[in-house]
Amino acid sequence: MEPTFTAKETEIKRLGEAKILSPLADLSEIGFDRRILYHPYLIQDKVEADISFEVAKHDKYIYFDPKKVTAAIVTCGGLCPGLNNVIRAIVLALHYGYGVKRVFGIKYGLQGFIPKYGHELIELNPRTVSDIHEQGGTMLGSSRGEQPIEEVVDALERQNMNLLFVIGGDGSLNAASEIEKEIYKRGLKIAVTGVPKTIDNDISNISHSFGFETAVEEATKSIQCAHSEAMSYPNGIGLVKLMGRESGFIAATAARAQRDVNFVLVPEVDFELEGPKGFFKALEDRLLERSHAVVVVAEGAGQKFFEDMESGIDPSGNPILKDIGRFLQRKINEYFKRREIDVTMKYIDPSYMIRSVPANTSDGLFCATLGQNAVHAAMAGKTSVVVSIWHGVYCHIPIALAIRNRKTINPRGTEWINVIESTGQPAFIND
């Protein structure tokens, strides 16, 4: 894995010099700013040694006067475990860490900034967020689709807001980047901080995103059920469809965690259905050998089989995927009927259950730390930045690097090799 950017591009944009003594100054470390190397474990003469990310921490001096700060928090896009945890962490860090008393939640994503929708602001404080982490979803609501960037910045100006926290995926972070550019063009002093949210774990230059561990944990429960169903009948097949529009990390990781899966189909790895090296033949061989099989498919896999069908675009600008789960369910039954082999198929699609559950303990801690670091970055006047984790270290990544590429499984990398070793399936079904 080589960086596709320069050391210059890792620099964090600042609104100005931080001159105000932080309320946390007595707890600040003495010494130079730390950075985490992009390749911390490789011999330095083999890579560009100065490519690194700024480590996230609270600073002795901050840019904003806490008594004059008004902060806004917005959640955008699809649901993901941990959204409420991040909101709560930001509110508590602002209130208890810096004494910021004016914190508002924006209802229903970026719509909440646009007057025509009529959404009211929600005042956020330790009391209003006291137990939201025990609930799934987002207390602020969410929405998809573009909104006029100029009107969003107009709303920030009207409310005299200094800090904007955007919790969202690549589309939301793209919008955050455009908002920051408009803020800069107007000469305003508003810090824009992102907390990357994607259940698919597909944002680049981020080791993993919040909610992913919870999603995998929930996905394994569906795999357990599919395995029980498949084992209970002669030639039983358990088929589970999991989330993963362009990246199959949930499917691959859940399969490796549970080890009851015999086939994993993901968007990154091409496969054919028919033929001597096709998926159906491999599935038939498995049934002849063991009398049962469990198949996990990511929602974005096999979309080439729908090329003759019309496809629309969702409000976020993404192609609307065809249902590969139902397609495989039908095609598998048709194949074995032609082969005059009786099979019992059980189909499970837990997608909306997975994304709407509360975060587990591990994700809860992760979300809390991300929210706290987002506040530290914003109060120090850092902008157009996302808080991330890289090689186990919390750090700052420019938004531009987070949205540059989509992170995917390398079909010839360790991730996919581990899947092959745990399932026994062909590495490339059509190769």
Largest CA distance in the chain: 78
Alpha helices in 159-306, H assignment, sequence order: 170-186, 212-231, 249-258, 279-290
Residue 99 CB coordination number (10 Å): 11
Task: Determine the Cα–Cα distance for residues 374 and 173; give it in Å rounded to an integer.
Answer: 14
Classified as helix, coil or strand, 346 is strand
What residue has token string 């079904």? 429
Report d(CA 296, CA 224) in Å as an integer.
12
| Type and span of the H or E element at 326 | helix 324-338
Per the document, the length of the chain is 431
Q: Is 200 a catalytic residue?
A: yes
Could you tell me the two tokens for 355?
């994304």
What's the rounded Cα separation, in Å, for the pair 430 and 267?
Answer: 14
* Tokens matching residue 135: 């609930």
List 164's β-bridge partners, or say none.
Answer: 72, 192
Structure tokens at 261: 């899966």
In angstroms and rounded to an integer, the radius of gyration of the C-alpha atoms of the chain is 24
Place of tokens 């429960």: 221
Please identify which of the residues 170, 200, 349, 363 carries the catalytic annotation: 200
Catalytic residues: 200
